[in-house]
Structure 1
């Protein structure tokens, strides 16, 4: 049986039809009537709080409502709508399909995300990761961006915000992993590539990660040069599930890394249970670490645990020579940050 999350998803329809609008109070219905009148949309009042509106295109109408008129949270949460391509008998099961304006707005974000994924409008930027001992490039973290029609970029916070709102984390996470692999192959990267993934977007590792593994094999990547990096690790509640994902990657010959270590209360406990190949110490710990005694203590504790368990230590977010000097002196193996280079479409080949 295949996972339901791996199936195709349907975009928000843009067909014409009838919109049943139910407002929490009559005052909201008055605002809605004013909007419909301004837009020359034919409507009929069912009662003081309920409106039937005949619209040409659902997605365009909702988009217009969300971007040009109904900006208040009260309106978004207290106006409910049900789209019907033709008048139906209004049973309880039909009315359950009613959505708030905010929910429709979330669907529009999902619509945009669907277009980005289906049209191949994801690209990858690469940030160098440095081997401190040899002062050479150890690898790159791959960071995915969306591309707009005008060529400008959509950053991950917006992409994953749309994905969370529309229950599309699985699709976006999978597309990002595959885009990272394809772009690294196109850029002829032979160093290690760090590829982010969100563990809560993966249900059954052997099934949900199948396409990622197949792409890696098809592109002739040496498994030891691919490092799958857990992001948002401090939010993971089910450690056993996360461990099953990491164990699956390891069984395929890949390395795994744990991100933002030191930022969450459970970080050290996670280290002991998950035993990653690499730990990335959170940038908040690295910030001004040459003068911050508390951060120095946390850093040293993580390094000690890592060294005792043969785990590679990566200091993330280095922006100053003094921060690099402290991390190198206290046992960091790898370093990453603007001090060495920002993420860029063309990977930096030399320091």
Structure 2
């Protein structure tokens, strides 16, 4: 050691109580363990040039920290230069971990802070004090960036450069395909081919609604090639749903006749205070034949409140819950309670992210109507599935 300095790398989720409200205590308990293992793994890689001072600790869900120190071969100036690099790389790793743990929609939107602080002592109180001080000075480890320009993104939207993919949705009782979820990607081999890069760039350039509407148009165009009575599910956020542009879109004489075969999937958790206003906006569109689905529903009171108010036709049980089927009796029983509660409210359950026959069978026995995931089929380019 060059001196006695010790550092703490800490990750703090924004509003961890939100996860408890959405997913319920049993799922959060399992997710907490999964995230702790994930943080331990990426800290092992990130801090390989440093001396680890123990395993990753997590005093509560939403906060993780790891103690480390400089090796004797490293000068202090090297540490000072490396600190911002470690933060940047660590933030990317944490972002990827959240997506892996909670799925694309929830994980990619989860805010967090990642800080590296110096601590004079390694007792829990000193560590917490150092972390809290560092967090108070930070605005967040935001990954809001764009690897493409605004002009490039607008050209994709306006010039037909967006690619539609479709993933099958099956009826669990008989295993037949009843519809497809429409997914959108950018050009192959581009920085925005995957959804994270594409929609991340749109958020950065404040073009999310513009991109979402373009994705809707492109997906619905494919309905002409998709055999009836198969339907498609298309994603949109609350902001677009209540916008005048969306109202005009669904009332378009060319679009309106196709609406019975389209399910509009609300892709973000809506603050409870906003649900009533959103319901009013949706109610005004119901005469247009609007079919609504709620995405990423967990096992907490938050989403059940949303379901009760919005009364969607379909409720999608999130990958966070489905991927943990069989992890504990509490997770399975919580999922079953959620399914029964949703069914009592008149909605059908769709299980997302099904990877194996066990998950499919548990969902079927629990009363879920539909499912999708790699077990049933991966997303494929529309042009391969439905040649024009």
TM-score (norm 1): 0.62
Could you tell me which residue of structure 1 aligns to residue 222 of structure 2?
183
Could you tell me which residue of structure 2 aligns to residue 160 of structure 1?
199
Deviation at 1:115, TM superposition (A): 1.6
Alignment partners' CA distance in 1, 2:301 and 2:198: 27
SS in 2 for 1:266: helix
Q: Answer yes or no: is 1:199 the counterpart of 2:235.
A: no
Could you tell me which residue of structure 1 aligns to residue 249 of structure 2?
212
Q: Answer yes or no: is 1:251 the counterpart of 2:262.
A: no
**Of 267, 291, 301, the match for 2:337:** 301
**Of 114, 129, 152, the match for 2:169:** 129
Runs of 5+ unmatched residues, structure 2: 1-83, 87-141
Deviation at 1:223, TM superposition (A): 2.4
Alignment partners' CA distance in 2, 1:125 and 1:235: 30
Please give the root-mean-square deviation of Cα atoms over the aligned residues, in Å.
3.1
1:120 to 1:303, Cα distance in 2 relative to 1, 3 A: same
Could you tell me which residue of structure 2 aligns to residue 171 of structure 1?
210
Task: Report runs of 4+ in structure 1 exceeding 6 Å deviation.
Answer: 150-153
**Of 353, 360, 364, the match for 1:317:** 353
1:327 to 1:163, Cα distance in 2 relative to 1, 3 A: same
**1:234 touches 1:266 (CA, 8 Å); kept in 2?**
no
TM-score (norm 2): 0.57
**Of 222, 228, 243, the match for 2:264:** 228
Alignment partners' CA distance in 1, 2:240 and 2:262: 19
**2:169 touches 2:177 (CA, 8 Å); kept in 1?**
yes
Which one has a larger percent helix, Structure 1 or Structure 2?
A: 2
1:246 to 1:219, Cα distance in 2 relative to 1, 3 A: closer
1:189 to 1:197, Cα distance in 2 relative to 1, 3 A: farther
Could you tell me which residue of structure 1 aligns to residue 131 of structure 2?
none
Could you tell me which residue of structure 2 aligns to residue 63 of structure 1?
none
Deviation at 1:185, TM superposition (A): 2.5
1:187-246 per-position Cα deviation (integer Å, ceiling 9, x unaligned): 556411101001124553xx221453255x415744221100000225676223322343
Deviation at 1:326, TM superposition (A): 0.7
**Which of the pair has more CA radius of gyration?**
1
1:161 to 1:264, Cα distance in 2 relative to 1, 3 A: farther
1:89-145 per-position Cα deviation (integer Å, ceiling 9, x unaligned): xxxxxxxxxxxxx9xx75953222112112110121000000112321111000011
Structure possessing the higher relative contact order (Cα contacts under 8 Å, 6 or more residues apart): 2
**1:280 touches 1:316 (CA, 8 Å); kept in 2?**
yes
**1:129 touches 1:336 (CA, 8 Å); kept in 2?**
yes
Runs of 5+ unmatched residues, structure 1: 1-70, 74-101
1:249 to 1:268, Cα distance in 2 relative to 1, 3 A: same
Alignment partners' CA distance in 1, 2:203 and 2:371: 31
